[in-house]
Structure 1
Amino acid sequence: MIVAESLSKSFGAKHAVSDVSFAVQPGKVTGFLGPNGAGKSTTMRMIVGLDRPTAGRVTVNGKRYTDLRSPLTEVGVLLDAKAVHTGRSARNHLRAMAATHGLPLSRVDEVIELTGLSSVARKRAGGFSLGMGQRLGIAAALLGDPHTLILDEPVNGLDPEGVLWVRRFVRHAASQGKTVLLSSHLMSEMALTADHIIVLGRGRVLADAPVDDLLRRWTRATVRVRSPRALELAELIAGADVSVTHVAEGVMDIEGVPADEIGDIAAARGIALHELTPASGTLEDAYLSLTGDDVEYKTKEIA
């Protein structure tokens, strides 16, 4: 378990993390989300002792990371896949790491095969593609078979097969009771992978909840309606809590009224429906609703 208690970090006048508290539970994949500059990377660095908190504390299984006697076998970390000597081969990089903890060379071969690096294991890491570099970083995180995994953007640069493998692997790890903290900007992938979500914005916790709870609270279900009498139907269902968006002629998206109620109203008035499709809000919708006022680096909207 990872526990942060009133965690803060300042760099001069810049407050990167402000009074952050959360717990990452074992047996779940916990997604760690937030806009650029939200404090995610700083928080992860504090978890593994690379940055010292200005205030508060963070522990892994009840201990500070710097107090762990065998960190590689307790916490697997991927923060920067480029943190490798470019002149070393993938195998030698992992062998050097294994030697620091007395791990057998057979474990090096296991993680090389596990992460799909067998064909490039003897090649210099400096010549690796972004995806192969990510695989090497993941292999390093798994080397000690740790109970806790902290992975920052692990699917960055991976091909579809690699993305699927990471998804299946972290879910399998969680099913074995391991603690998994996973950061990503890919909302679609996080929606398929995470059980629980922590969202940061401007260094503060904006949300800390199971995915389903987050969707219920921060999204509204939409119903796509297609009818030759769409305008008439829209007038019949109008209300203070109802939103109707006309997508095309005869097509509209309706929020605030369930599909069965729309169908009943249409049937009562003899209005033909060519489509009545309910759609739940997505994790991306919830994320954008949560972080809309906390984006530090705003882009210009395109008309």
Structure 2
Amino acid sequence: MITAQNLTKRFGATTAVDDISFEVRPGQVTGFLGPNGAGKSTTMRMIVGLDRPDGGSVTVGGRPFAAHAAPITEVGALLDAKAVHPGRTAEAHLRMLAATHGIGRDRVGEVMELTGIESVARKRVGGFSLGMHQRLGIAATMLGDPHTLILDEPVNGLDPEGVHWVRGFVRSLAAEGRSVFLSSHLMSEMAQTADHIIVLGKGRVLADAPVDEFLRGSQRERTRVRSSDSRELGVLLASEGVAITAASGDVIEVEGVPAARIARVAVEAGIDLHELLPQRGSLEEAYLALTGDAVEYRSNPAAAAA
């Protein structure tokens, strides 16, 4: 379990992390989201003692990371998949890490098999693709069979099979009762993997909630409607705060009106309904709506089109 209380970090005049508090609980995958510059990487670095907080505290398993006698058995962290000496082989790298904690060679073989890198065990890391670096990094996080996993963008560079494997892997770790803290910019992947979401923007917590609750709280009700007279139904439903979009000839999308109200209006007007399908907003839509004012680096679509 990770517990951050009033965590703050400044770099000169810039406050990268601004008085944030959150928990990463056992038995679930907690997704960590935010625009570039939001403070995610700095927060993860403070968790594992690579950056010192200017205020507040953060513990893992009830203690600061450095206070654990064998940190690798409590926390497995992948913050930079390519932070490995390029001249070492994959096996030598893992054996070096294992030796620092008295972990035997058998465990090195187990984590290589777990991550599918046995075939490149004796190859130098400098020749690895980004995807193979990711697998090696995940193998390193699992050496100590830790209670908590911290993974920063673990699917970068992986092919579809690798992405699918990482998704199933972190879900299985959470099912075993471990705490999994997962950062990613891939919203579709996070939507399929995370149970809980923490969103940072400009160093502050913008959201901290289960995924379903986050979606409900960030989205207006939207319903796909197919009827015998979609135009007339749209006129009857139109009012302040209601948005109606024509999707095709007999289909409209209605936002801001409960599906039950749409059905009642149609029945009263004698309009036949052929389809009434509430639409769940995507995690990407909810995230963009929440972080729109917290984006530090914003692109210019007009300039790109020129």
TM-score (norm 1): 0.95
Q: Please tell me the residue identity of whatever aligns with 1:213.
A: E
- Where 1:150 maps in the other structure, the secondary structure is strand
1:30-45 aligned at under 5 Å gives the runs 30-45=30-45
8 Å Cα contact 1:220-1:280 kept in structure 2 = no
In the alignment, what sits opposite 2:181?
181
Extract structure 1 runs of 4+ deviating beyond 4 A.
none
1:262 to partner: Cα distance: 2.1
- Where 1:45 maps in the other structure, the secondary structure is helix
Q: Please tell me the residue identity of whatever aligns with 1:51.
A: D
Q: Please tell me the residue identity of whatever aligns with 1:284.
A: E
8 Å Cα contact 1:20-1:205 kept in structure 2 = yes
In the alignment, what sits opposite 1:231?
231
- Where 2:37 maps in the other structure, the secondary structure is coil
In the alignment, what sits opposite 1:51?
51
1:12-161 aligned at under 5 Å gives the runs 12-161=12-161
1:238 to partner: Cα distance: 1.4
User: What runs of 5+ residues in structure 2 fail to find an aligned partner?
Assistant: none
Say if 2:215 is the partner of 1:215: yes
Aligned residues: 303
Distance 1:277 1:5 in 2: 42
Distance 1:184 1:221 in 2: 27
Query: In the TM superposition, what whole-angstrom CA distance separates every residue of 1:266-289 from its partner, at most 9, and x where no partner exists?
Result: 243333445432211121122112
Q: Greater CA deviation, 259-268 or 133-142?
A: 259-268
Distance 1:20 1:96 in 2: 35
Distance 1:244 1:177 in 2: 45
TM-score (norm 2): 0.94
Identity of aligned residues (%): 66
- Where 1:43 maps in the other structure, the secondary structure is helix
Distance 1:300 1:231 in 2: 36
Distance 1:260 1:7 in 2: 45
Distance 2:190 2:118 in 1: 28
Q: Please tell me the residue identity of whatever aligns with 1:47.
A: I
- Where 1:262 maps in the other structure, the secondary structure is helix
Change (3 A) 1:301 1:226: farther
Distance 2:221 2:112 in 1: 44
- Alignment RMSD, CA only? 1.5
In the alignment, what sits opposite 2:280?
280
Distance 1:58 1:101 in 2: 23
8 Å Cα contact 1:246-1:253 kept in structure 2 = yes
Say if 2:193 is the partner of 1:193: yes
User: What runs of 5+ residues in structure 1 fail to find an aligned partner?
Assistant: none
In the alignment, what sits opposite 1:10?
10
1:85 to partner: Cα distance: 0.6
